Structure 1
Amino acid sequence: MTSRILTASLAGLTVLATATTGHAGGLERHGYDVDLLFEKSPFFFDGSVTYVMPNRRIRNAVDESVPAADPTNLNNIAGYSSTADGSEPYADPYLGAKAAIGDSIDCMIDYSEPFGANVKPGRHWAGAKDVSELEIFSHNYGAACSYRFDAGPGQFRVIGGGFYQEIGGHKEQVVVAPEILAGTPFSNFSGLGRMEDIKDSSGGWHAGVGYEIPEYAMRASLVYTSKVDYDDINGTLNLTGVPKAIAGSLDHQRIFGESTPVTASATLPESLELKLQSGIAPDWLGFGSVKWTNWSRLQTVDFRCDGSAAFCGDAAGKTLTALNLYYRDGWTVTGGLGHRFNEQWAGGMSLTWDRGTSTVVGSQSDVWMVGLGTAYSPSEHVELRLNGALGLLTSGESNPINTTTTRYEYGTDFVSALSGELRVKF
């Protein structure tokens, strides 16, 4: 096998070292990917699981919902802490398959979980009135095809596709601290409010172009992914743990002690990603990417009573609870090197910077990650990959805005990730 062919065989290494850099801004986890279309084998299967372990720690949290001297302030209640875990580990699975149709068309299908959030600071920290537990999940079922044709020394590729997406989740927060209810006729109430069974489904599309010179492992691609509009997010606001008798306003009298159907709308962002790679020496590959994601579309998700004015009463048209995000646009920049040691072993490394999307609220600051990976090919049809990454989460602060009432800080923290992948081609 010549050095030139060995260099060309490095084309797949761009994902080797970057597969574990999935701790991006906004609600992004896996994001979207149509790279399977560029695989040279007529039939290709790819399956992976990445386990991400962010270690974000919230510090100096202060409940500003009532004056500091008020005995109902969570900071004055025994056992409520000014520190909390600001993140939870999560798994990021992926399944994809690609098939060539004739000499010019390639098509793929895949399953991914592009967006999500998992936070569980608990019911006994100073910000529990904002959130004690939050989960957001997504399921994405995609299909895409490309058409390629000769252009100069290489091939030009036109890419198009679509996807069907489901989202869901729940949010829990302390409405009234149970310590305040203790010793009263309402001591059997939990004091908790919970948004339950949040769900909706929608779809979107991809469009892009690519250019390849396989002889030199050169590839460039530019892919746009559309926004996803969720116009009918439904759920239930369960306030059965809060006694109706303590309601201080008419709309609270309507919803305290009840389970109320609610509705909201939100738009998940569009993105534009440029990827580049090229053989730079025999058995060596350089690669990089720049991705823009329009997270500023997502500011706040307001949940309102889902029913007629007669049903909702004084709560009609009012925001009963909200998911306050106030994101700014995200930018992710990656660069790296891949090296093939022999016909069975290859390795790669990457450096990624992800611009934090949090502005006045939240703890998503800038992230720097270093990824390392290795690939083992026991045969020409099978490849196994093991990847790892270690990242730095920069410091910042979060301040009360809209319905949020907690002020807190976060220092420099760490994130780590491990990924295993199986690739089969024939």
Structure 2
Amino acid sequence: MSRIYPFSLSALTGALILASGQSLAGGLSLNEQSASGMGTAYAGRASSALDASTLYGNPAGMSRLNRAQVSGGLAVLAPNVDIKDAQGDAPGTNQGNMVPTSTIPFGYYVTPIDDNWHFGIGAYAPFGGHADYEDTFQGRYQGLETEVRVITVQPTISYRFNDRISVGAGITFNRIDGTLSNNFSNATISGGTNLTDATLTSEGDDYGYGYNLGVMADVLDGTTVGLTYYSKVDYTLEGHTTLEDMDPAAAAFGLVNGRYDAQLDFTTPEHVAASVSHALDERWTLHGGAVWTRWSRLQRIDVENEGAQGALAVTSEEIRFRDTLAVSFGASYQLDEQWILRAGFALDESPATSQDRSVRVPYGHRKVLAIGAGWSPNPDLTLDLGYAYLWESDAAVEQEDSTGPAALRPGYSGTFSTDVHGLSAQLSYRF
């Protein structure tokens, strides 16, 4: 098995890079790293070790896996986004549904080294977001396409002090790539007669390193608590910015058609997950959890364009995210030796306030209902399925002509309504 696994992990990483280009509808943070966790809306993720996916949920949980095992699967997310009450300083359409259906794979391998030490390695997508509006979108001057993709490979170790307490730590090797585009209006430059648009597109990628730490403890018989820390990761994305179809008269603003080397500093935030799992009896287990994320690290986007002048030297957009707290509650029921049933509910704050929300991330507070099941036809094999329905509070966007040369970026407002159907499947094999 050890000879086969490195190839499998490499193949999975490649699949992640290809598939995660279409990411979650609800912003930048992804939860889809486990089908067994989806069934309880990820409640108890840091305090339960259901399978090898505990490597992400809490690396200390690896010490509770008695045998080597591999777990892999994927999540499919189908979003729907409606735009209501749209208004803008320029004509255009408001079709919505700018987020494509997503497929997000994940995979893990964990094996005991001795009675106290475990080793594991996993590949997953912790962050990602994609919004791609139609070319005639009325708010295209504030944002046309926004895409962020992060792929992580995490080697991990855990140590068991005794039957009650274990700790774990992993190093994360991360790859990020992103795309930002918006239009400029040529109409103002041409005295209102030229309705064509110029397009500004910035693309870049980088690699970064971080770490995850976890502790898991049985504080009482039947009650387990867990705490997981996920570090920030700093990136300097390097690529290029392209300006096309700009009216030559815009040179007065420094906006000259061309391709420029570009650089963007970007940090994915640290977050802390805490949870508790309590076994009421041999069949019922209750879970609760909370996740705090330091989104306030993202205040603005500054793309530095080498060789550009004026307004194009540094293209900036305000983000002004705030820290968020997500809470979840769930339960599982062991129906018999083969079947376990799960259900859960979660609430997740939006990092964007109503004053600073943009068409790039036009999302509100989330609510999630989830159900799931695990089937183990024998002690070596488990198939987990999870379904989640996510809906968000209506999110108002009001962007004035305040970024970049005002005359070239007409304002836009509208109300966005988002819901998502998610389905995840995972196969775990123990040997």
Residues in 2 aligned to 1:174 and 1:102: alpha-carbon distance in whole angstroms: 59
Conserved? CA contact 1:178–1:191, under 8 Å:
no
Residues 400/315 of structure 1: CA separation in 2 closer, same or farther (3 Å cut)? closer
Q: What residue is the counterpart of 2:424 in the other structure?
A: 419
Question: What amino acid does structure 2 have at the position aligned with 1:108?
Answer: G
Q: How does 1:44-63 map to 2 (within 5 A)?
A: 44-63=69-88
Q: What residue is the counterpart of 1:396 in the other structure?
A: 395
Q: Does 1:129 align with 2:154?
A: no
Q: What residue is the counterpart of 2:314 in the other structure?
A: 319
- Count of matched residue pairs: 373
- Report the CA distance between 1:213 and its aligned residue: 7.3
Question: What amino acid does structure 1 have at the position aligned with 2:357?
Answer: V
Question: What amino acid does structure 2 have at the position aligned with 1:228?
Answer: V
Residues in 2 aligned to 1:391 and 1:100: alpha-carbon distance in whole angstroms: 37
Q: What residue is the counterpart of 2:368 in the other structure?
A: 369
Question: What amino acid does structure 2 have at the position aligned with 1:176?
Answer: S
Q: What residue is the counterpart of 1:383 in the other structure?
A: 382
Conserved? CA contact 2:385–2:423, under 8 Å:
yes
Q: What residue is the counterpart of 1:355 in the other structure?
A: 349
Residues in 2 aligned to 1:350 and 1:177: alpha-carbon distance in whole angstroms: 51
Residues in 1 aligned to 2:134 and 2:286: alpha-carbon distance in whole angstroms: 44
Q: What residue is the counterpart of 1:410 in the other structure?
A: 415
Q: What residue is the counterpart of 2:119 in the other structure?
A: 107
Residues in 1 aligned to 2:393 and 2:241: alpha-carbon distance in whole angstroms: 35
Identity rate, percent: 22
Q: What residue is the counterpart of 1:195 in the other structure?
A: 202
Q: What residue is the counterpart of 2:57 in the other structure?
A: 33
Q: Does 1:172 align with 2:181?
A: yes
Residues in 2 aligned to 1:124 and 1:394: alpha-carbon distance in whole angstroms: 26
Conserved? CA contact 1:25–1:357, under 8 Å:
no
Conserved? CA contact 1:56–1:410, under 8 Å:
no
1:251 to 254, 263, 272: 254
- Report the CA distance between 1:391 and its aligned residue: 2.1
Q: What residue is the counterpart of 2:51 in the other structure?
A: none
Residues 353-395 of structure 1, C-alpha deviation per residue, up to 9 Å, x if partnerless? 1111111213221111110001111211110011101122111
For the residue of structure 1 that corresponds to 2:296, the secondary structure is helix
Residues in 1 aligned to 2:225 and 2:410: alpha-carbon distance in whole angstroms: 47
Conserved? CA contact 2:27–2:128, under 8 Å:
no
Q: What residue is the counterpart of 1:266 in the other structure?
A: 266
Conserved? CA contact 1:123–1:174, under 8 Å:
no
- Report the CA distance between 1:215 and its aligned residue: 6.9
Residues in 1 aligned to 2:254 and 2:186: alpha-carbon distance in whole angstroms: 20
- Report the CA distance between 1:224 and its aligned residue: 1.1
Conserved? CA contact 1:348–1:374, under 8 Å:
yes
Residues 192-238 of structure 1, C-alpha deviation per residue, up to 9 Å, x if partnerless? 22223x1111111122321137973x3211111111111x2112111
Residues 396-416 of structure 1, C-alpha deviation per residue, up to 9 Å, x if partnerless? 312226527543232554221
Conserved? CA contact 2:138–2:412, under 8 Å:
no
Q: Does 1:335 align with 2:341?
A: no
Residues in 1 aligned to 2:187 and 2:90: alpha-carbon distance in whole angstroms: 11
Residues 364/302 of structure 1: CA separation in 2 closer, same or farther (3 Å cut)? same
2:90 to 74, 84, 93: 74
Residues in 2 aligned to 1:88 and 1:24: alpha-carbon distance in whole angstroms: 8
Conserved? CA contact 2:26–2:129, under 8 Å:
no
- Report the CA distance between 1:25 and its aligned residue: 6.1
Question: What amino acid does structure 2 have at the position aligned with 1:44?
Answer: Q
Residues 331/195 of structure 1: CA separation in 2 closer, same or farther (3 Å cut)? same
Q: What residue is the counterpart of 1:66 in the other structure?
A: none
Segments of 5+ residues of structure 2 without an aligned counterpart are: 1-22, 34-55, 404-408
For the residue of structure 2 that corresponds to 1:249, the secondary structure is helix
Residues in 1 aligned to 2:64 and 2:25: alpha-carbon distance in whole angstroms: 25
Residues 161/24 of structure 1: CA separation in 2 closer, same or farther (3 Å cut)? farther
Residues 249/179 of structure 1: CA separation in 2 closer, same or farther (3 Å cut)? closer
Segments of 5+ residues of structure 1 without an aligned counterpart are: 1-21, 64-72
TM-score by length of 1: 0.80
- Report the CA distance between 1:179 and its aligned residue: 12
Conserved? CA contact 1:126–1:406, under 8 Å:
no
- Report the CA distance between 1:122 and its aligned residue: 1.3
Residues in 2 aligned to 1:120 and 1:158: alpha-carbon distance in whole angstroms: 42
Residues in 1 aligned to 2:383 and 2:254: alpha-carbon distance in whole angstroms: 58
2:239 to 220, 227, 235: 235
Conserved? CA contact 2:219–2:225, under 8 Å:
no
Residues 269/91 of structure 1: CA separation in 2 closer, same or farther (3 Å cut)? same
Residues 257-307 of structure 1, C-alpha deviation per residue, up to 9 Å, x if partnerless? 20011112122101111021121122111111111010111111110123x
Question: What amino acid does structure 2 have at the position aligned with 1:291?
Answer: V
Q: What residue is the counterpart of 2:293 in the other structure?
A: 293
